[in-house]
Amino acid sequence: MANRQKLIATTVMEGMGRRMDIVTTRFGTLSVRDEDKLVFAGGLIGFDHCRQWVVLADSQNPALGWLQSLDQGEIALGIVSPRRFVPDYQLRVDRQALSSLQLQSDRDAQVVVVVSRQPNGLTLNLQAPLVINVELRRGCQVVAKDSLSLQHPLYSGTVPLRQSA
């Protein structure tokens, strides 16, 4: 734990809300307002200890976003809208899996998938997407009822990438 980066540098009151400065390995120091935080109460698969996140835009690729952990600054996951790359993508899950999001309608949900780098290129995890209630700033990772790809190819060949956290 002594080698772990201190994440929360300061928490201050600003206007009507609080903001927290965190140190990340990919983006440097970020100032995050409370209203920008996403809470994944159950964590994510493989990152169950990370409950607070923020979504950041990628300045070089408008199709890509970054889900940056506020609990561990060295963790950032590339995310995209699955329908941008797989137009016929359909997600079927048990309603119970989404109960923590308190969705009024399916249209209130934003679905994104994690992008991974594999030896043959980039892939999308279509089997276990992230579902977010943007209004309430809550999210959860779900497992699709249908058998979908864990490593759906996005690009083949070598794609130059910046180093990821």
pLDDT in tens, the chain (165 residues): 333 333 333 344 445 568 889 999 999 999 999 999 999 999 999 999 999 999 999 989 999 999 999 999 999 999 999 999 999 999 999 888 888 899 888 888 999 999 999 888 899 999 999 999 999 999 999 999 999 989 999 864 444 555 555
pLDDT of residue 106: 80
Q: Can you give the three-state secondary structure of 90-141, one letter per residue?
A: CCCCCHHHHHHHCCCCHHHEEEEEEEEEECCEEEECCCCCEEEECCCCEEEE
- CA atoms in the 13 A half-sphere facing the CB of 18: 8
Provide Rg for the chain, Cα atoms. Answer: 16
Determine the pLDDT at residue 64.
93
DSSP label at residue 150: S
With a threshold of 0.95, does the pTM exceed it? Answer: no
Spell out the domains of the chain, with CATH numbers in brackets: 8-153 (2.30.290.10)
Q: From the CB of residue 48, how many other CB atoms can be counted at a distance below 10 Å?
A: 11
Gap between the Cα atoms of 8 and 27, Å rounded? 14
Beta-carbon contacts of 124 under 8 Å, excluding residues fewer than 6 positions away, are 80, 82, 85, 86, 113, 114, 115, 116, 149, 151, 152, 154
